[in-house]
């Protein structure tokens, strides 16, 4: 569960039912106290409605023959998107524009997203006419029509069709249709028959797509190659580990190395979300990687580099860090924050000025050579250095991984160096 997920603790089902009386008939007593029957579709629908009303002031209609979204899991995905968009918690709340692909009858992601992030707006696509109508009612009854625009998707259109126009977006999100056929659904239902997991109330139209979720998301990857930086982050949820492998392979085949993976865990259900970008924003490992050893081979390259300081004195290390930064030509400190246990410095560089080769080149250059320049060169690297019991470098922006790694090496060596006697 995401650390900011308010359902990290199970709800008080009885108190919830008292605040939403239609849930009362579904309360069951167990040795661990009151709960609900998670195998009852009606109980789940009332639970979802009760949580949405109590915790998000949302009134939501959920048709009996369409998916009933489990709120803790949907929240996990939205919280991860918040992390992707503002990984260092530094951006002011400017307008954020998202696209939800296949919003469903509930319109759950746009509704939750708008309640949780006042600066978010959505275009939500849906192909199924019944779900589209119900989503429109849910948007209207919560007075969110100025922030959520519904788009009726068509089979022959690109999945990411809102990107066809001139508008730019901050993110896309999607809970894709999962299965490739009715037979696959039946096989999966048989396998789950004796498991205690919740029932699924989805209709075939919303759960089946040719090739299943893997093919659907790989189509999005292919489409994104055309739209590229028109959207900062493309993301999707995935329900099968094999689909995650397929999508990572597709990204790698297309040389997209700026991607991120998270695990969305709710009770016994494990899902994944993947995001990718053609921009130069880089995410810290805490957002882009999961530590599950069995998934190691699928993870994106590290954007966080740590250097232990051993027994070095913190004050001395900080002094050395400051000296190393001020002695490195072309490095600009953009901000500094001091917390009780750490100091964080934001840095920008226009290129490699620290390597031996760069310094040699500068010495050889005829004097006055650089004075030809009338404009300053663009920033090639932005990173954050945090000094605590260790030195931690987080890549924030840039396209040149070698530049980031060489900078980390340079500063680490200076901070770890023994004073010359």
- Please give the residue ranges that form the binding site for ligand SAM (CB under 6 A): 67, 69, 101-104, 106, 108-109, 125-128, 131, 153, 159, 175, 177, 205-206, 209
Shortest distance (Å) from residue 208 CB to ligand SAM:
9
Query: Which residues belong to the annotated binding site?
Result: 74, 102, 126, 175
Shortest distance (Å) from residue 48 CB to ligand SAM:
10
In 3D, which of 68, 53, 60 has the Cα closest to residue 198? 68
Count H helices and E strands in the chain, helices first.
Answer: 13, 14
Q: Report which DSSP code applies to 354.
A: S
Query: Which residues belong to the annotated binding site for S-adenosyl-L-methionine?
Result: 74, 102, 126, 175
Shortest distance (Å) from residue 109 CB to ligand SAM:
6
Shortest distance (Å) from residue 392 CB to ligand SAM:
35
Closer of 78 and 347 to ligand SAM (Cβ): 78
Shortest distance (Å) from residue 105 CB to ligand SAM:
7
Q: Residue 172 is inside which H or E element, if any?
A: strand 169-174
Residues 6+ apart with CB under 8 A from 124: 99, 100, 103, 107, 109, 110, 135, 148, 149, 150, 151
Shortest distance (Å) from residue 34 CB to ligand SAM:
26
382: three-class secondary structure by DSSP: strand
Closer of 83 and 206 to ligand SAM (Cβ): 206
Concatenating the DSSP letter of every residue in 73-89 gives HHHHHHHHHHHHHSTTS
Backbone angles phi, psi at 118, to 5 degrees: -60, -20
Closer of 69 and 398 to ligand SAM (Cβ): 69
Closer of 216 and 407 to ligand SAM (Cβ): 216
Q: Report which DSSP code applies to 22.
A: G
Closer of 174 and 287 to ligand SAM (Cβ): 174
Comparing every residue's Cβ against ligand SAM, the nearest one is 102
Residues 6+ apart with CB under 8 A from 396: 88, 281, 282, 346, 382, 383, 384
Phi-psi region of 184 (alpha: psi -120 to 50; beta: other; left: phi over 0): alpha
Closer of 114 and 159 to ligand SAM (Cβ): 159
Closer of 212 and 346 to ligand SAM (Cβ): 212
Please return the burial class of 342, using the count of CB atoms within 10 Å of its CB with bins 0-12, 13-18 and 19+: middle
- Percentages of the chain per state (helix, strand, coil), in multiples of 5: 40, 25, 35
Shortest distance (Å) from residue 263 CB to ligand SAM:
17
């Amino acid at each position: 569960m995401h650390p900011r997920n308010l359902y990290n603790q199970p709800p008080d089902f009885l108190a919830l039912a008292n605040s939403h009386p239609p849930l009362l008939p579904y309360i069951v007593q167990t040795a661990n106290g009151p709960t609900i029957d998670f195998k009852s579709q009606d109980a789940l629908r009332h639970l979802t409605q009760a949580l949405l009303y109590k915790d998000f002031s949302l009134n939501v209609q959920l048709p009996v023959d369409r998916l009933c979204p489990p709120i803790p899991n949907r929240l996990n995905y939205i919280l991860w998107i918040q992390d992707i968009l503002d990984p260092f918690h530094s951006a002011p709340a400017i307008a954020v524009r998202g696209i939800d692909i296949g919003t469903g009858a509930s319109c759950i992601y746009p509704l939750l997203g708008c309640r949780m992030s006042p600066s978010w707006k959505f275009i939500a696509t849906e192909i199924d006419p019944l779900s589209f109508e119900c989503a429109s009612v849910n948007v209207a009854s919560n007075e969110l029509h100025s922030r959520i625009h519904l788009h009726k998707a068509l089979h022959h259109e690109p999945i990411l069709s809102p990107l066809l126009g001139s508008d730019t977006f901050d993110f896309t999100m999607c809970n894709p249709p999962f299965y490739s056929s009715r037979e696959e659904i039946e096989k999966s239902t048989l396998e789950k028959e004796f498991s205690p997991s919740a029932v699924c109330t989805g209709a075939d139209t919303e759960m089946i797509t040719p090739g299943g979720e893997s093919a659907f998301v790989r189509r999005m990857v292919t489409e994104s190659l055309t739209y590229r930086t028109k959207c900062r982050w493309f993301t999707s949820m995935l329900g099968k580990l094999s689909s995650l492998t397929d999508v990572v392979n597709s990204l790698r085949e297309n040389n997209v190395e700026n991607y991120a993976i998270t695990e969305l865990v709710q009770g016994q259900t494990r899902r994944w979300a993947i995001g990718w970008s053609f921009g130069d924003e880089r995410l810290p490992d805490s957002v882009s990687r999961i530590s599950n050893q069995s998934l190691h081979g699928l993870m994106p390259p590290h954007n966080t580099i740590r250097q232990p300081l051993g027994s070095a004195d913190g004050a001395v290390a900080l002094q050395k860090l400051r000296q190393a930064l001020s002695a490195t030509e072309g490095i600009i400190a953009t901000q500094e924050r001091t917390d009780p246990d750490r100091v964080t410095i934001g840095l920008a560089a226009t290129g490699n000025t620290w390597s031996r080769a760069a310094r040699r080149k500068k010495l050889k250059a005829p004097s006055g050579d650089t004075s030809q320049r009338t404009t300053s060169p663009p920033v090639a690297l932005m990173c954050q250095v945090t000094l605590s019991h260790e030195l931690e470098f987080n890549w924030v922006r840039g396209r040149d991984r070698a530049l980031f790694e060489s900078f980390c090496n340079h500063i680490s060596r200076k901070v770890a160096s023994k004073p010359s006697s």
